[in-house]
Structure 1
């Protein structure tokens, strides 16, 4: 059979009950929040239909409305149900950690915003003010705000094509990025920076904050928010809790292969495989390797929705949150992703009449991670959501089923 016709899918049983775990202690009755129970259950039914595509070995979902948990559930397995995998099923818990991939960008950006809040930098400062060597080839003009909004002119370079072992050499990565020539010398064109900008932003945190990123993430976010994981990579002792990422569905063919490579720098399957490698899980990739549970992520976005506070703890000031989510420019065609998008300094923004987070989500802010991981907050709906998953697929059916989940969420949680 030709490679492009091969389809890898999860073995999906007729009845899914044995694969579903619900945290009943966490979920509050929908009626208490003025929601219709049938519509809330329709959201989970849509998630189950997403699982039935056979494209997702593991899915966790946490939905908060007005700060209260409406859904906290998991479907699938940590191990034992991936395509071609034979062995006992290891149950998946709603609090299982998963890699956030590019949704890590939104979390890491908050470290920069914390430094701005403390008066140690301004978003309109030039990057080169803190990393002088970044000024090469005209990049002295790039501000921190532009760096976080994918306007630094270095969306991809050879960094992503040299294998996961390069991720262990932080100083070399930063030096390569500082020496890189921008594709747009005027820095007017928006182009999604899959990994590159994260390393430069991380170096700013190190130099200005005088702290390593794992400790900053722990001290400034994970600890005050009471998060279970939220780490760059994951400790070896926790690896058995982390479901591996898996390529599912049909193999991508040209021109899709070229499109994917232009974003992540390597072939699709190679990128997925690298995400399970020790070099990826044992180092710091600010834009791509935070591991957290869906509840951890939902708590971060609920904190932002609350103006920087959660459970009586003020993590960020309201003005800091406002700066973090305010748009940088308007809707613009992204030269990397080939779609129109709006960014803030660290977040992908929603749109009307439909956007990344479903119908009528212009006020929403969050981030997409490697095809189908989604995390966001929507002030208009008093909603914070984390939808984490491990299947990496280009199958149209997966996109359609994911869209159905977003539509069901919008219907279940109307504007307030």
Structure 2
């Protein structure tokens, strides 16, 4: 049984209905409390539990003069890495690629500059040594040229630190995975996303290249992405020269990136490491299938054996970019909750600014959350909104025995 809560649009338009299972009302209340004022922006939250959609809600503002509605989608940054990784696992399940095969077996040019031994498993766990995006291209707009970027990555030597541990490929990961997929299938990456993710799940909102007719649905991001409001160029240059932060600046702070993320042209390019545009509904549906043993609505999306492989931690070493031990699995990280107790068997991916999604394989819960308010009032890089929503959700499913 569910409770339907209508938005401000006429009752005759059923697509405006919010969906709230009574068991998840406390989670809905916590979400709505986050978007009471225009300066808080807007967002959407969707949850699946044991294969059933139990929450599909939204609130706030998509722009200064536009309320967030059912069809609003958002640029979700690194959240898209989890979707791109899932494409790889769908292909691996059918034997189209092997995790322990060399990337160069599928993409011969990748083997240049001594990279011939790097495997698909290395790539999926950020151990390819190609984390550097800063300085990869001559100008910020060059990052919009997919072919030029993948050619540059293929010809770049790997960072030798990859042999000691992972180095988060904050921006480059998406291009590397996309080109691997394109070489394996002989199809453009965005078409493969449609065929392997959007089509099987019955929902279109998985975009790295957003169709023109859907771009008006994209929420406007704010404030600027600059760390602590500081000048991007000055800050990134300083961080790139300081030992402990050099890797992060190299991986995530290319020149002009703060301007590029606000350029509408990013929605017409393929940059899967950060420019994915999604609805919370789409993200939660994909992870809902994963959380439910690979099955949703009676259709198998992934085998249990595949999910076991993709969720197994591959490295516990310190990440030389992040400076922590993220425990990377094959294309995902463990979800982060604002609690001492963390899910023991869960995978997902969060994005800079706050959006993210995950699947808890033990409880059968999935959450998808997107927002246009980048971070908190202190920093645009991220905050605890999804981490707190996750705590509430986990408590509710623990009590539903």
**TM, length-normalised to structure 2:** 0.83
The answer as to whether partners of 2:334 and 2:347 remain within 8 angstroms in 1 is yes
Comparing 187-196 and 256-265, the one that deviates more: 256-265
Match for residue 321 of structure 2? 336
- CA RMSD of superposed structures (Å): 3.0
Structure 1 residue ranges without an equivalent (≥5): 1-16, 81-88
> Residue 68 of structure 1: CA displacement?
2.4
The answer as to whether partners of 2:18 and 2:58 remain within 8 angstroms in 1 is no
Match for residue 101 of structure 2? 125
The verdict on how the C-alpha distance between 1:125 and 1:93 changes in structure 2, with shifts beyond 3 A counting, is same
The answer as to whether partners of 1:157 and 1:180 remain within 8 angstroms in 2 is no
What is the alpha-carbon distance in structure 1 between the residues aligned to residue 351 and residue 72 of structure 2? 17
Number of residue-to-residue matches in the alignment: 376
Match for residue 145 of structure 2? 169
Match for residue 242 of structure 2? none
Map 1:343-354; keep pairs closer than 5 Å. Answer: 343-350=328-335
> Residue 53 of structure 1: CA displacement?
8.2
Comparing 276-285 and 208-217, the one that deviates more: 276-285
What is the alpha-carbon distance in structure 1 between the residues aligned to residue 159 and residue 376 of structure 2? 28
Match of 1:147 among 123, 126, 135: 123
User: Deviations 1:333-371 (Å, cap 9, x if unpaired)?
Assistant: 222122221111111124xxxx35753212111001113
Q: Does 1:317 align with 2:303?
A: yes
> Residue 401 of structure 1: CA displacement?
4.8
> Residue 153 of structure 1: CA displacement?
0.8
The answer as to whether partners of 2:48 and 2:367 remain within 8 angstroms in 1 is yes
What is the alpha-carbon distance in structure 1 between the residues aligned to residue 375 and residue 291 of structure 2? 31
> Residue 204 of structure 1: CA displacement?
1.6
Q: Does 1:193 align with 2:181?
A: no
Comparing 142-151 and 105-114, the one that deviates more: 105-114
> Residue 402 of structure 1: CA displacement?
4.7
Q: Does 1:266 align with 2:248?
A: no
Structure 2 residue ranges without an equivalent (≥5): 1-6, 240-244
Match of 2:284 among 292, 298, 310: 298
The verdict on how the C-alpha distance between 1:263 and 1:395 changes in structure 2, with shifts beyond 3 A counting, is farther
User: Match of 2:160, SS?
Assistant: coil
Q: Does 1:367 align with 2:349?
A: yes
The answer as to whether partners of 2:43 and 2:58 remain within 8 angstroms in 1 is yes
Match of 2:360 among 378, 386, 396: 378
**TM, length-normalised to structure 1:** 0.81
Match for residue 14 of structure 1? none
Q: Does 1:288 align with 2:274?
A: yes
The verdict on how the C-alpha distance between 1:405 and 1:238 changes in structure 2, with shifts beyond 3 A counting, is same
Match for residue 251 of structure 1? 229
The answer as to whether partners of 1:357 and 1:376 remain within 8 angstroms in 2 is no
